[in-house]
Structures are given as C-alpha cells and as structure tokens.
Structure 1
C-alpha cells in the first residue's frame, strides 16, 4: 500500500468528521443525546460502507468497480481497520500527562465513596457477564468464555477500549468480540443518557435529587462542550518551551510515554518467558496490549516532571487536543469498519449482554449508591452511572443536570476518582488483562477472582462508608 493511499485514508476521516459535525448541528435529537461528532461520523461511514450501502451497490456494480462495496474504497477500509489499535495508545499515554496529582489522603477523603462505588460496579460487570457466559452464552449459543468480559470492556471501557482490544480479541480466537464490544459500547452511551435523565427526573419528583434546577437549559456552547468532550480538565498555567514548537514537544512526550510502555511490555514478556511462563507453559503478557502500559509511561513522565518541578511545561489543554484528535480518528475508523453481520449473527447474545449490563448499572445506582455513599448519593452516584455506561462525558453530563451549580462535591470527587480508577478498570490494566487471564485460566477462575474483589469493595463500602451516612 502506497503512502498516498494512507494519506487519502486520513483525509477521508476528516471529511467524515466534518459531515458528522454538520449533521450534529442540524439534528437536535443527536445533540440532546450528547453524541460526539466522531461517533456520528463513524456511523455515517458504516452506513455508506460495505456493511450497509455496499450490500446494494455490490448488486449493481461490477466487482472491479471502486464503489463495488459502497462509497468507501476497500484500501481505505484496510487502513482504517489498523488505526484503532494504534491510536488507543496515544489516548492512554495522554491520560495523566499534565494533571496535578494530589496526595492520596486528599483523594481518599473527597472521592473515597465514589472510588469504592466505581470499583464495585466495574467488578460486578465482570461477575454478571461471566455468569451469563457460563450459564447461557456458552452452553446455548456456543460463544467463547471471553464473552463474559464484554460488558466491562464495552460499558465502562467504552468505544476506545473496545476498539483498542481488537488485536487481543483476534489473537485469542474471538474476533467477533471486537464488533460486539463496539456495538455494546454504543448501546451503553445511549442508555446512559436516556436512563440517566429519566432517573434524574424521578429523583427530582421524589426529592432525592435536591439540586436539580439552577440553569434550566444548556446553552448551545455548553451543549457542544459536553457532547464533544471525553472528560473534564481544569485549566492551568503553563510555560512555553521556546526551543521547540509546543505541539512537537507534547507529541514527543506522548511518544516517549508510548516508548516507555513498549519497553515495559517487552520486559514483562521476557520476564514471563524466562520464569513462570517457562515453568508452567502459561503466557499472559504477549496478549496484553500496549495501551495500559503506555498510560503507566505517561504517569512516569508526569511524576518525573513533578519531582523536577517543571510540570508547568506540560500544557494539559494541548495534551487534550492531541488525545481528542486520536480518539476522533479511532472512533471514526472503528465504527466505520464495524461488522453488522457479526452483530446480526449474534443478536440474541448481544441483546442479553446489553440488557444485563443496563439492569446491573441501574440496580447499583438505585440500591447500592444510597447505602455506600454517605452524602449526596444521588449527585455522586449518577456520575458513576454515566461513566459505567461507556463515557466519562456521560457522567459529567448527568452530574451537570443533577447539580448544575456544583453545590455538592460530586464533580470534584468524580475528577479525583479517576486517579485511582482508570489505571485499573474501565480500560486500565485489569481490563486489558481480563481477556488473556480468562483465556489462560478459564472463565470460572476469573469469575471467582471478580466475585471476591466485588464483594470486598461492596462490604467495604457498606460498612466503612455506609455507617457514616447521616
């Protein structure tokens, strides 16, 4: 494949992003669902690609026609199919760069209940998913035991994580898992917004949500900011690097973070191969993708800059722009190359997993949150509900509706929560390792592990935080 073909493939992503932006501006329903332009663009690409329009054009046009499989040339789809597993490394390498990391005591005092609640929900998603896989999906539909991890990967991890793990799905012989995960991530976002707003209205009527009000409507600027963002960051003063173009400097930081992650990955693979792997014949790290280790590389760089007192040279706003660009490219390319045939062939398991995930998330919010979060459970818990359905931005949206004037510590706690949440679940180390662990040790083993950890966080939350409830 030529460089011109690769370049054209990126140009076409830009074209679809512009189309997605225009569609979003003119379709109020999409704005009300707070869907980013990149997701809209991805579904437009899916519609005009081989999975939808291509099924019609293939009946009319000869096989040698460039539009035989739709409006997107085959070589473009070949390029796009490789992008998610590459660009997810940029997203995770940038996750903690430029963030002020407070001490653990402050994080725990402010965000402790939300950390425990988030961990309980995430590990619970593994439990319900694995139980469903062992009792129904495997015996009845012949699905891989790896399907038990789809709920956590899709609903907490979201589109980025689902797309980034496509290589792992393929290597472990469950290639259809990547398409199912992307489809479920879309269900997660839509259900999170719709169900979250319904619950907020219910909470307002029953006086459980006591801070609804304030700004009754979102301004167009606020609506765009929430819908087009993937997280929340506080602006901070930065210093310019006069000897290097700032964009190049920050790209170099992200590249260095990925490089550190790659070195860690190779060291772990080598260590495993010469120790317990050689002794037991069990190998995990060759299947663990690079992106969670790239996140650790970014944390190392940030800690080094903090120690040297040069952390202000990192512009979090610019890091966000780079990360946002990478995530936009990832989402358009992943959704455009989604296989509708795979979802159609597995529609019943797909729906079962989605319904079970939604029921667990709503149960956790309505039953566990009031008992685990001692103060402002509704405002804090609704943010966890939003994040548990696939996007940090969904959690921010629901908190902004429930507490528009930030009268509760929900938003601050939600931000601090990520520092002890994202490195592990929701796309972190546990999420990335879950597939190879299930593959090597079996779904029952990982179910036992998940159940023990979930019960630990559940009891800890109920006993330690629950007794503080006024």
Structure 2
C-alpha cells in the first residue's frame, strides 16, 4: 500500500463526515433523533462499501468488476479498519488532561448519587449478560462465555472500546466478538437516543423534567447541529503564541506523551508479570485504559510545574471530538455484516437484554436513588449506559439546555471515579480476558457483589436524602 493510497483513504473520511453533516442538516427525522454526523456517515459508508453495494453489484457485474467493492476500494477499507483501535487511545488519553481534579469529598457529595446509579447500570449489564451467556449462548450457540461481557463493552464502552479490544478478542480465539461488539455499540447509540428523546418528552408531560418545557422547542439551527450565532463562544484558547509553537501542536504533543506514558506502563507491567509470576494475562490488555492513566499522570505533573496553565481543556476536547468522529465513522463502516448475520439471534438477545435493563434502571431505579432532579441527572447516566459518554451528554443537553440542575457537575464528578473502571476503563478492558482465564462464574459473582453495592448505597444512602 502506497502513501498516496493511505492519504486518499484518510481524505475519504472527511468526505463522508461532510456528507453525514449535510444529511443531518436536511433530514428532519435525523435531526429529531440528534444523530451524530459520524454515525450517519458511517452507515452511508457501510451501505456504499463492499458489504452492501459491492455485494449487490458483484452479482450483476461479476467479482472482477470495479463495482464489486462498491465505492470503497480494498485499500480504503484496509486503512479504515485499524483506525478505531488507534483513535481510542487518543480519546482515553484526553479524559482528564486539562482538568482540575477535585477532592474526593466533593466528588462524593455532588456526584455520588449519579455514581451509584451509573455503577448499578454498568455492573448490571455484566450480571445479566453473563447469565444470558451461561444459560443460553454457550450451551445452545456454542459461543465462548466472555460474550456475556459484550453488552457492557458495546453499550458502555462504545465503538472505541470495542475497536480497542479487537486484538484481545483475536487472542482469546473468538475474533467475531469484535463485530458483535461494534454492532452492539451501534444499537446502543441509536436506541439510546431514540428511547432517551422519547423519555424526555414523557418526562415533560408527566412533570418529571423541571428544567425544560418541550423538546420540540429547540431552534432549527440546534436541530441541525449548528450553534446559534449568539452562542458562538471561542472553542479553544490560545494559551501559547503560534510563533513559538502552534497551540494545536502543543496539545497534540501532550496527548502523545500521555499515550507514551501509558505504553511504558503497559510494557512494564507485562514484563513484571512475566518475570515474577510467569503468566501472560496482561498481554490481553489493550493500551487505551493505560493511556487514560498516562493522561492522569501527565495532568498531575503539569498541575505542579505548569504555572502558566498552557493546557486548555477546550482544545483537548476538540482533539478528542475529532478522534471520536473518525473512530465512530471508521468502526461502523468496517463492521462485518456477515458475522452479525451468522450470530443474529445471540446478537438480538444481547441487545434486548441490555436495552431492557437500562430502561428499567432509568424509570424504576433512578427516581429512588437520585434525591433531586432525578430525571435530568438520570437521563445522562442512562445515555452513557446505552451509548458512551457522548450520548449521555447529548441527552442531558436536551433535558437541561440551560444547565439549571446539578446534572452536568454531578456527571462530571462521577466520571472521575466511574471511567477508570467501567465504560471503557480497566474493568471493561479486563472483563473478557478475566472471564476467559477464570471462567464466567467467578466474574459473575464479583459483578453481582458490585451490583449489590451500587443498589444498597444508591437506595439506602443517597435515596434517603430526598427533601
């Protein structure tokens, strides 16, 4: 593959992102669902690629025809396939860069209810997913037990986490788990947005939402995904002078250092494990959770030695957002429809169990755990449990557009404790290898204990704080 072919494949990403955005601006039902342009562009690329258009045209023009691969050449697909696994390292390295790490007391007091609720939803996905695997998927469909962890990996972790675990799934002997996890992540985002918007309208009618009158009141520009003219603030600050170094270059370099720190940590831990214990468990662990720890280390060092505050959180977020767009588009465009078709019933069962648990959690557990503004705060955790953090933020933005509730602050504090473990953190990354190494029963018992802790703390500690 030549450098020109690689460069052309990357240019194609931009083309599909723009097409996705153009469709979002013009198609009303996509606006009502607040679908990200990367999701729209990813589905369009999947349809126009070798798996849909290519398969149709191959039957008409023959397998040697130019059209047999659709509008996406094999070179483009070869470049796009590993992109999600690379970009997830950038996304996780940026989670805590440029932030002020608050005290644990403040995190507990403000973010505690949402942490207990999110903790319950996350561990519940493991409990019910593993029960589904043990009782149905393993004996009737001859699937490995760790497929029970795919609900949390796909829903909470999202496309990036699933992509980051591609190599791990291959090492565990069931590479098809990657495509199933990517499919679950797509189902999670779509159903999360659809159910979330419906829930917001329900909350408005039932007076459970205190900070919004009606979702339909959103302006045309907002529905199209365009910031209103009067709300266009600076997206990032110029913390250094461009003649010394471009601010974007500086922040990208800091993210790169965080990833390198994570890589050194992973290599060091792997070496120690093999030298002291003689096992190879850490070889199954991907880089991205260690990149997150690398970001925390870089941030702690920067907060001590950087007196000029040159790290701008908004600039970090822009790089994170770009990486996430590339990640989602490339992951959806390259998902294997053949694998999902081969395991269609298990895929539907995993999707259904995950959706039912999260919906029950929002409407029956959330009101009993969160002492105030339960819906505005709970809808964010529901969105994250269905389709990554971005979906949770999107639904909170719709439910509380003027940030009148403590939802955003509580959600942010909750992430500081939640993300290192679930939603793409260490537990998410280690869950499949742990089930593979020790069997599903020990992990199921552990997940059940964690679920019980979340329920007890949420219901009997935070739930009793209601005024």
TM-score > 0.5 by shorter chain? yes
* 2:153 alignment partner in structure 1: 153
The answer to whether the 8 Å contact 1:383/1:395 transfers is yes
Mapped partners of 1:77, 1:236: distance in 2: 33
Give the drift of 1:268: 0.7
The answer to whether the 8 Å contact 1:5/1:75 transfers is yes
* 1:245 alignment partner in structure 2: 246
Matched, 1:26 2:26: yes
Q: Which runs of 5+ in 2 are unaligned?
A: 228-232
Q: Which runs of 5+ in 1 are unaligned?
A: 228-232
The answer to whether the 8 Å contact 2:163/2:182 transfers is yes
Give the drift of 1:190: 1.7
The verdict on how the C-alpha distance between 1:72 and 1:235 changes in structure 2, with shifts beyond 3 A counting, is closer
Mapped partners of 2:136, 2:157: distance in 1: 23
Q: Secondary structure at the match of 1:52?
A: helix
| Equivalent residue runs for 1:83-94 within 5 Å | 83-94=83-94
Question: Which string of whole-angstrom CA distances, capped at 9 and with x for unpartnered residues, describes residues 263-297 of structure 1?
Answer: 00001101110123x2xxx4321010001101111
Mapped partners of 1:145, 1:311: distance in 2: 51
* 1:103 alignment partner in structure 2: 103
Structure 1, 42-51 or 55-64: larger mean CA deviation: 55-64
Mapped partners of 1:189, 1:234: distance in 2: 28
TM-score by length of 1: 0.93
Question: Which string of whole-angstrom CA distances, capped at 9 and with x for unpartnered residues, describes residues 411-436 of structure 1?
Answer: 22112211111121101111111111
The verdict on how the C-alpha distance between 1:392 and 1:132 changes in structure 2, with shifts beyond 3 A counting, is same
Mapped partners of 1:155, 1:311: distance in 2: 39
The verdict on how the C-alpha distance between 1:220 and 1:311 changes in structure 2, with shifts beyond 3 A counting, is farther
TM-score by length of 2: 0.94
Matched, 1:468 2:430: no
* 1:342 alignment partner in structure 2: 339
Mapped partners of 1:71, 1:249: distance in 2: 37
Mapped partners of 1:275, 1:189: distance in 2: 42
* 1:305 alignment partner in structure 2: 302
Question: Which string of whole-angstrom CA distances, capped at 9 and with x for unpartnered residues, describes residues 222-241 of structure 1?
Answer: 335599xxxxx997866215
Give the drift of 1:207: 2.9
CA RMSD of aligned residues (A): 2.1
Give the drift of 1:337: 1.0
Mapped partners of 1:125, 1:297: distance in 2: 28
Mapped partners of 1:363, 1:226: distance in 2: 33
Mapped partners of 2:270, 2:226: distance in 1: 40
Give the drift of 1:61: 3.3
Give the drift of 1:66: 3.7
Matched, 1:382 2:383: no
* 1:259 alignment partner in structure 2: 260
Q: Secondary structure at the match of 1:388?
A: helix
The alignment of Structure 1 onto Structure 2 pairs a total of residues equal to 461
Structure 1, 362-371 or 213-222: larger mean CA deviation: 213-222
